[in-house]
Structure 1
Amino acid sequence: MRNKRIKGVVTLALMCFATIGFSQSQDYKFPFQNPNLTFEQRVDDLVSRMTLEEKVAQMMNKAPAIERLGIPAYDWWNEVLHGVARSPFNVTVYPQAIAMAATWNTPSLKTMADYSATEGRAIYEKSVETGKEGQRYIGLTYWSPNVNIFRDPRWGRGQETYGEDPFLTSMLGKAFVQGLQGDDPKYLKSAACAKHYAVHSGPEKLRHVFDVKPSNYDLWNTYLPAFKELIVNTDVAGVMCAYNAFEGQPCCGSDPLMVDILRNQWEFNGYVTSDCWAIDDFFKNHKTHADAQHASADAVMHGTDIDCGTAAYLALVDAVKSKLITEKQIDVSIKRLFMVRFRLGMFDPASMVKYANTPISVLESDPHKAQSLKMARESIVLLKNTNNVLPLKKKNIRKIAVVGPNADNALAVLGNYNGTPSQVETALMGIKEKVGKDVEVVYEKGVNFTDGNILQAEDISKFCSFEGKQGFKAEYFNSNTFTGTPVLTRMENQLDNFWQEGEQITESLKAYNFSARYTTDFTADRTDEITFEIAADDSFQFFVDGKMQIGSFGNSSGELKSTKLNVVKGTTYRLEVKYRQKEGKASVKLAAGKYVKTDFKAVANRLKDADAIIYVGGISPQLEGEEMPVNYPGFDGGDRTSILLPEAQTEFMKALKDTGKPVVFVMMTGSAIAIPWESENIPAIINAWYGGQSAGTAIADVLFGDYNPAGRLPVTFYKSDSDLPSFTDYSMDNRTYRYFKGEALYPFGFGLSYTSFKYNKLKVSKKVVEGKVLPISVQVTNTGQIDGDEVVQLYISFPNSNIKTPIRALKGFQRISLKKGESKNVQFVLNPEDLSIISESGKAILPLGNFNISVGGGQTENVVKSIVSVTKGNNK
């Protein structure tokens, strides 16, 4: 039994619990320690014993211990977007959220969330056992899922969402929360959190200052449905309020969002955390409040229980004294917070909590790894397959070329907000393993994401030493200012480090808010001009003989930078890299060599004897993501300034096509990419997203026909930038498939297969009475020669409505498996809410008259249709 769960309570009877059990007469120092009482009774007792200062401290994400009451420290901040993120342990990493959305498979997503919660429980239990329960990224309160609507493909964080459709997002989010929180009637397996509430989807550079004012129609029909589903129907434990302002008030202090809708209409009684540093935005960026006192008091009175990332809430003590807020109002938040911790079983013996004895051996277990591979396969979307180029036939291939910036990029497949697995399968690795030793596999990167200037890197480590020892002297500091004595000094053979945020570098140092200095003496082996290149996820400085060459400690540099140095053979140069990290991923790498501009035609000529060319490109989480210090052509601050595939990649593929050999474009991305030339000229295209740790295996399985692809797009792939409204415009007019009036390159819900499907026998009543459900069934038959999955999609539209409605709207979907020649009957039930539209006044309306129903493998292609009439019900 782990007494750390209830520190300070060491009684003989409690220590003997495992053998004699509890009795109603058990002695406890405090009533809140008695598991026989209700959670409400225990929370009320605990809060009644706390001082104002203790209460306020508990409202920070890093809540300190209260020793006198036996309450251990706890950090609320943890992430589990697609597997446990930023853990000190190796964990299973599933495909990125947008990729999981492309599976259109709610049971699969629920299983993934359940497995992730299992791994999270194991990490937490191990941390409690070793006295580390107060550290970040080991807790059971996960700030996932992200159910914002991916309204614009330029948003770099869209990869974290389930796409552009409210219904698909709602159903996938519901499955995720159910899997994560478990099925125990008393205890939570872990606590999910719906974010970012609300109306939040970029631009990243403006997220701390912009004020959104959507119409009521867009608010209720697009931005709120997924939050409502999770809060009202799924009992999600937490909500994270967003950085931006809503109608003039910061979201975490919004009257309509936080009070009228969340707490009153939806009756949410769970906890709310601010997005990290959002409370500071009240008075520093939005300028709606005078100072931390006023901002904190207002946020708490609006129901924001946790201040993440800042110390603003510490001002609540003075705010109470100044009568800006009462202690009773603070008690409301404190009770909500401790209710979650009690529901997680944190103050009860492990033998009472269903999930508390999860062993560390579950991490990366075989079922978990199998699920990651399963979802990676399910997520792949076949966009084009002219003349059945795919699947490739192994018996016809003796040489295959694998090229492109993502061909062997292990970082790309992991997405963002990710953990670290023991092994990552890149596309190159998966293809090599698939074809075996009898097939020659040739690899050339050929092009970076945005240009063809490739550093021909050399191994300089053999020319680097410090004080007679080969490599770099590495010094690590427990702050980002290089002050004090290093907590770790060691020799490192190369300067090439990568850590997840919070990952353990050494026992006394985590990859968060730290600094490092790397020093070596480089002796030139020739007289030449050498380019030194540094890539880092935060700010750095590079010195040669004490003179700074590149980098800065102002704003985070967070990108690739290089400098040229003329060296003389036999001369020694002192190289020093100073690296400073605050938050996020931590990486720093020094490379040296010569930049060579790729001659695409020359590369293509070298590959022309290959039987097939696999180009693995697209973009990467190294370019798109959360508030990133990236500034390459087409990318800015984590977002994209253009949705076109970077021109350099298109030019490379043009040269590859000229070989006359079949070219397959494997595209990795977290968002929609416009590929007009590729769509017209490349015979086979698959979208592989950021597929997780088994991405390479899944890609190879699809390329060679060992898995029949059935992923479907959760976002619209537009033709060009001109299809998009202003990024800062939050109106849904001409956005997403529901309102876009143009012609998409690849529409929402689209995806090809190696087989074919037929729909018939649609059964649906011609009339539905207002307020009644509408059953629907359809027969689906696999008419091809290969077993495969199909995603059955149901859409409705109101072409003659006198109120604003979507062009069409998804209202049902099921992923089914069919053997060749097999038929299945698929059933749906539409309820009155499915048939309702929120009017401009914000009221739910069921349009009377006719509406259209279509069921099939997409929006308009291969569908069966029916017209249904809505009639008034009998009010008697």
Structure 2
Amino acid sequence: MVSAPLIFFSLLFLGFSWHTSKALEPFACDPKDEVTRNLPFCQAKLPIEDRVKDLIGRLTLSEKVGLLVNNAAAVSRLGLDGYEWWSEALHGVSNVGPGTKFGAGFPGATSFPQVITTAASFNTTLWEAIGRVVSDEARAMYNGGMGGLTYWSPNVNIFRDPRWGRGQETPGEDPLVVGTYAANYVRGLQGNDGERLKVAACCKHFTAYDLDNWNGVDRFHFNAKVSKQDIEDTFDVPFRMCVKEGKVASVMCSYNQVNGIPTCADPNLLRRTVRNEWGLNGYIVSDCDSVGVYYDKQHYTSTPEEAAADAIKAGLDLDCGPFLGIHTEDAVKRGLVSEADINGALFNTLTVQMRLGMFDGEPSVQPYGNLGPKDVCTPAHQGLALEAARQGIVLLNNHGPTLPLSTRRYRTIAIIGPNANVTVTMIGNYAGVACGYITPLQGMGSYARTIYQQGCADVSCVSDQRFGGAINAASQADATILVMGLDQSMEAEFRDRAGLLLPGRQQELVSKVAMASKGPTILVLMSGGPIDVSFAMNDPKISAILWAGYPGQSGGAAIADVLFGTTNPGGKLPMTWYPQDYITNLPMTEMAMRSSRSKGYPGRTYRFYKGKVVYPFGHGLSYTIFVHTIASAPTMISVTLDGHRRGSGNTTISGKAIRVTHTRCNRLSLGIEVDVKNVGSKDGTDTLLVYSKPPAGHWVPHKQLVAFEKVHVAAGTQQRVKINIHVCKYLSVVDRSGIRRIPMGEHSLHIGNVMHPVSLQPLVLGVIKT
């Protein structure tokens, strides 16, 4: 449901915005410029490589250096305008970066749910669809002179520690999910027009970046000590998928050091891995002022010129910040870096700009040139934001079942909590100006009469002064909805959490309201990170618990739709919810993923942690019941080895695990067919999570997600789902030396409560090796 104020805003927006926007002048190669229009770099029919080389050859050293920073300088004599590279589009066009602003025909843009919420949908087509909408709106704003074309999104870091303030920006803790999200969202942003880019996306922050400010350690000074195994097995997986599968146009290096080297000065990470091994077709950019950070704060080099030279030689192409613009020319004069190195950096950035059409003359006659204010905040775009929120909401508990609520039985609803009537809280961080908002209170009001009490002044909930009104409201209503949780004052960039419990006196408010409630009490949580709500799970007066993440501009409508059954929830948690005692004596600075019994180290994420949880990764209930049956699946797969590898000492570990590079992987896949039957009374969407438990070994995960699919099944019907698992990619594991291997022997596949064994056996020259 869409509220009347939101519809009015949309109509007003669409009706008048064309008259207040200004058409964009050509960035370069203006057809009216007689000096440049016939130069080779302005000839759109020539190969981009030739055009870029021609342009670089015409630039002076000083002009080249002026193009190495985010606010790239104009080169007036060649008809190049200045350009701001820094724009953000994490879950909608944002004004966080200076490249994008609202106003002048663009008062807002569609604000989708925060990434952690959208990830909970496990819906790859949704992820790409959101990217397409965001890039439509980004192009429209560029055409109106209000935005850029290079967006430093998405954030594809692993949500390793539940306290991380930026975990909300990520698709969660599983490398496969994060990498799959990255590839699909990037495809949506960049389009599918070959070498031409709709907008240029950027996967960040490379790598092992997942600490902002914890216990006196901040991201500017942190040295992440990471094993080769964890780098290959966990931290780099999403970035590799983003580059190789998503074909992303940019990768951003992070502030932190990895094993003593700043990521933005590490040629092993940037030039060897991202550029050469993964084949990045684009540019590498620093996180903002990262080069200055490793000189000024980390004291990695003795002089600023050395810092600039190290970055460029390592493979950095663009500096978000002024550092390279100030110090690179002197670095060249001192012989620390060559002009040829600078040419290489510019080749990568200018190529992206040409792929974006920025050197093709008039923007209005180019592809996407017709997009304008009429294409921003459209009803369809806002409808997708609402649908994304519905799909991302996770039903955690449902005793009775109490939910969905009947509008005939529950006519008066008490809406209580510091997040019950919020707007900007719902869109999380790295958001812009939303088209409009539907708060939880407004959403509930479309289904029932509401009695609203805030309960706490804000999420910090330091006082019980407002408890009385909340308790009184609950005692009068047919049902009570408590909307609690966190906001950006509790978890944000440069703000990691101290603990996992509800802040302040929120727990006390929940318990007292539940005790006084005349009818059932439902707890709704807004947060990016997990919350230990064990008290609520064990309270018989709390009938159901819902997690909404940060559900975006229409989040209140989506929450109401789920509570009243217009939407059957299908979201699954993309991260483990740990108890508060999990973080006791667990420094955020300890990067190891695997547990260590001798050290008393619990391990991280569902793949390596075996202890008690509040809710596991992948948890999420429905209003119906799905039954899974494996219709067909092999029991044995032959893994073909290169013939010359037979007996090679590097091929196996005790004959039990074959190096991926020693196998013929191209067609090595495992096909499964699963029947999903809806035996309940309501239509619903099932999220099939397929896990593999590898053969036992001290360096393998307990289990790992190897595939996931969404399927809608009407009540009383059955659907068959085909799943293909690439054996080398997803049934492999990584040894202590960072080498990816395929364990031979029995792998156990788990889909819900169904298990299926598959034996992998080596095959050399058509003969099974014994």
Determine the structure 2 residue equivalent to 1:222: 234
CA distance in 2 between counterparts of 1:810 and 1:781 reads 22
Q: Does 2:528 match 1:670? A: yes
Report the equivalent of 1:98: 116
Offset of residue 425 of structure 1: 1.0
* 1:411 Cα offset (Å): 1.8
Give yes or no for the alignment of 1:381 onto 2:394: yes
Q: Aligned to 1:835, which of 716, 731, 734?
A: 731
Which residue identity is paired with 1:674? D
From 751, 760, 768, the counterpart of 1:870: 760
Q: Secondary structure at the match of 2:226?
A: coil
Q: Hey, what does 1:343 align to over in structure 2?
A: 355
* Residue number in structure 1 paired with 2:476: 609
With 313-322 and 162-171 compared, the bigger mean Cα shift is at: 313-322
- 1:694 and 1:2 map into 2 onto residues whose CA distance is 31
Partner of 2:563: 703
Counterpart in 2 of 1:506? none
Question: 1:440: Cα distance to partner?
Answer: 4.3
In the alignment of these two chains, the number of paired residues is 691
Mapped partners of 1:759, 1:785: distance in 2: 17
Q: Does 1:713 align with 2:573?
A: yes
* Worse-matched range after superposition: 265-274 or 377-386: 265-274
Letter in 2 for 1:752: L
Structure 1: distance between partners of 2:413 and 2:308: 61
| Correspondences of 1:569-580 after superposition (within 5 Å) | none
Equivalent position SS for 1:394:
coil
Q: Please give the residue correspondences for 1:563-642 in structure 2 after superposition, counting only pairs within 5 Å.
A: 597-598=464-465, 600=467, 603-627=470-494, 638-642=495-499
Residue 198 of structure 1: CA displacement?
Answer: 0.3
Q: In the TM superposition, what is the alpha-carbon distance from 1:602 to its structure 2 partner?
A: 6.0
The residue number in structure 1 matching 2:52 is: 43
- Asked whether 1:659 is paired with 2:659, we answer no
The range that moved more, 674-683 or 750-759, is 674-683
Within the candidate set 630, 637, 651, 1:761 is matched to 630
| Structure 2, gaps ≥5 residues long | 1-22, 96-100, 595-602, 640-664
Q: Structure 1 residue 452: deviation in Å? A: 4.1
Instruction: Quickly say closer, same or farther: Cα 1:36–1:101, change in 2 above 3 A.
Output: same
Deviation at 1:312, TM superposition (A): 4.0
Q: Tell me the equivalent position of 2:41.
A: 32
Q: Which amino acid aligns with 1:102?
A: A
Report the TM-score, using the length of structure 1 for normalisation: 0.77
Q: Distance in 2 between matches of 1:440 and 1:366?
A: 27
Give the match for residue 208 of structure 1: 220
- Give me the whole-angstrom Cα distance separating, in 2, the residues matched to 1:177 and 1:7: 28
Tell me the secondary structure at the aligned position of residue 686 of structure 2. strand
1:296 alignment partner in structure 2? 308
SS of structure 2 residue aligned to 1:390 = coil
- What residue number does 1:189 align with? 198
Deviations 1:717-755 (A, max 9, x none): 112233563211111121110011102111000000111
Aligned CA distance change for structure 1 residues 854 and 75 (closer, same or farther; 3 Å) = same
Structure of greater Rg: 1
Alpha-carbon distance, 1:447 to partner: 4.8
Q: Whose strand fraction is larger, Structure 1's or Structure 2's? A: 1
SS at match of 1:156: coil
Cα distance in 1 between the residues matched to 2:44 and 2:508: 67
Letter in 2 for 1:815: K
1:683 aligns with 2:695: no
- The residue that corresponds to 2:26 in the other structure is 4
- In structure 2, the partner of 1:446 is 456
In the superposition, the TM-score normalised over structure 2's length comes to: 0.87
| Equivalent of residue 731 in structure 1, options 589, 592, 597 | 592
Provide the C-alpha distance between the structure 2 equivalents of 1:83 and 1:769, rounded to a whole number of angstroms.
45
Residue 11 of structure 1 and its aligned partner are, at CA, apart by 5.8
Q: Aligned AA for 1:812?
A: A
- Matched to 1:181, the amino acid is Q
SS in structure 2 at match of 1:686: strand
Q: Deviations over 1:174-202 (max 9, x none)?
A: 11010000011241000010100000000
Partner of residue 648, structure 1: 505
The residue correspondences of 1:258-657 to structure 2 (distance < 5 A) are 258-349=270-361, 350=363, 353-435=366-448, 439-453=449-463, 597-598=464-465, 600=467, 603-627=470-494, 638-657=495-514
Q: 1:35 to 1:259 in 2, by over 3 A?
A: closer
Q: What amino acid does structure 2 have at the position aligned with 1:776?
A: I
Q: Which residue of 2 aligns with 1:806?
A: 701
In structure 2, how many angstroms separate the alpha carbons of the residues matched to 1:601 and 1:658? Answer: 13
Percent of aligned pairs with the same residue?
36
Write the deviation string for residues 395-427 of structure 1: whole angstroms up to 9, x where unpaired: 112321111110011121011000112311111
Say which SS state the counterpart of residue 434 (structure 1) adopts: coil
Alpha carbons of structure 1 residues 719 and 837: separation in structure 2 relative to 1, 3 Å: same
Question: Structure 1 counterpart of 2:244, which letter?
Answer: V
Structure 1 Cα separation of the partners of residues 52 and 543 of structure 2: 63
Tell me, what secondary structure is at the counterpart of 1:195?
Answer: strand
Partner of 2:644: none
The answer to whether the Cα contact below 8 Å between 1:452 and 1:598 also exists between their aligned partners in 2 is no
Deviation at residue 297 of structure 1 after TM alignment: 0.7
Which one is further off, 354-363 or 442-451?
442-451
- Distance change in 2, residues 1:398/1:830 (3 Å): closer
Are the equivalent residues in 2 in contact too, given 1:149–1:223 (CA < 8 A)? yes
Give how far 1:79 is off.
Answer: 0.4
**CA offset at residue 443 of structure 1?**
3.1
Pairwise CA RMSD: 1.8
Cross-structure match for 2:130: 112
The alignment partner of 2:763 has SS state of coil
The answer (yes or no) to whether the contact 2:454–2:466 under 8 Å persists in 1 is: no
CA offset at residue 647 of structure 1? 4.5
Q: Which amino acid aligns with 2:550?
A: Y
Contact 2:671 2:725 in 1 (8 A): yes
Cα drift, residue 601 of structure 1: 5.1
Report the residue type matching 1:744 in the other structure.
V
Equivalent position SS for 1:47:
helix
Q: Deviations over 1:691-712 (max 9, x none)?
A: 0000010011011111111110
Residues in 1 aligned to 2:688 and 2:474: alpha-carbon distance in whole angstroms: 41
For 2:157 and 2:452, the matched residues in 1 are separated by 41
- Deviations along 1:557-616, one digit per CA (max 9) or x if unpaired, are xxxxxxxxxxxxxxxxxxxxxxxxxxxxxxxxxxxxxxxx41635641353011111110
Q: Contact 1:177–1:192 (CA<8 Å) still a contact in 2?
A: yes
Partner SS for 1:378: helix
Q: Which amino acid aligns with 2:492?
A: G
Change in Cα spacing, 1:606 to 1:430, as seen in structure 2 (3 Å) is closer
Measured at CA, do residues 756 and 292 of structure 1 come closer, stay the same or move farther in structure 2, by a change above 3 Å? same
Question: For the residues of structure 2 that align with 1:223 and 1:266, how far apart are their CA atoms?
Answer: 15
SS in 2 for 1:395: coil
In 1, distance between residues paired with 2:346 and 2:242? 23
Residue 58 of structure 1 deviates from its aligned partner by 0.4
> How far apart, in 2, do the equivalents of 1:372 and 1:745 lie?
29
Alignment pair present for 1:775 and 2:635: no
Q: CA deviation at 1:327?
A: 0.3
Distance 2:455 2:49 in 1: 60
Aligned counterpart, 1:475: none
CA–CA separation in structure 2 for the residues paired with 1:263 and 1:5 = 28
Contact 2:248 2:280 survives alignment (8 Å)? no
8 Å Cα contact 2:562/2:568 also seen in 1: yes
Is the partner of 2:628 in helix, strand or coil? Answer: strand
Closer, same or farther: CA 708–297 of 1 in aligned 2, 3 Å = same
After superposition, the C-alpha distances for 1:295-340 in whole angstroms (9 at most, x for unaligned) are 1110010111111123343211011000000000100001111000
**Distance in structure 1 (CA, Å) of the matches to 2:441 and 2:254:** 39
